[in-house]
Amino acid sequence: GAVVSQHPSRVICKSGTSVKIECRSLDFQATTMFWYRQFPKQSLMLMATSNEGSKATYEQGVEKDKFLINHASLTLSTLTVTSAHPEDSSFYICSARVPGVTPYGYTFGSGTRLTVV
């Protein structure tokens, strides 16, 4: 149980275009989801926290207008990279807090490899 599906697994886009990444909780309701970014040979860096029905909370240094997060339902959060540039190329990973367990459990999507050309 507690599976998070992330789509697409990899995407190549042209510079200046926007890309949407979806993160779905398949068998539970996720009131809180998280978005991470990971550059090659580096650790995961938390970008933002999204709560269903409210605005996302962004970590310091993350541009909210560039990385649009929408968490409109209890099973879906989306990250849109707007006007993507080559420096946005990275591995993006979503995570969801699993309800009903103490302490909180977290499950992760399989990641999206974004390449901006």
Residues that bind other proteins (CB under 8 A): 4, 6, 32, 34, 36, 43-46, 49, 91, 93, 95, 97, 102-111, 113
Minimum distance of other proteins from residue 49's CB (angstroms): 7
Question: Closest CB to other proteins among 6 and 75?
Answer: 6
Q: Is 27 left (phi over 0), alpha (psi -120 to 50) or beta?
A: alpha
Which residue from 3, 15, 19, 17 is spatially nearest to 112, judged by alpha carbons? 19
Question: Closest CB to other proteins among 43 and 65?
Answer: 43
Question: Closest CB to other proteins among 59 and 82?
Answer: 59
Minimum distance of other proteins from residue 10's CB (angstroms): 9
Q: Cβ(35)–Cβ(94) under 8 Å?
A: yes
Minimum distance of other proteins from residue 24's CB (angstroms): 13
- The C-alpha atoms of residue 95 and residue 35 are separated, in whole angstroms, by 6
Q: Cβ(48)–Cβ(55) under 8 Å?
A: no
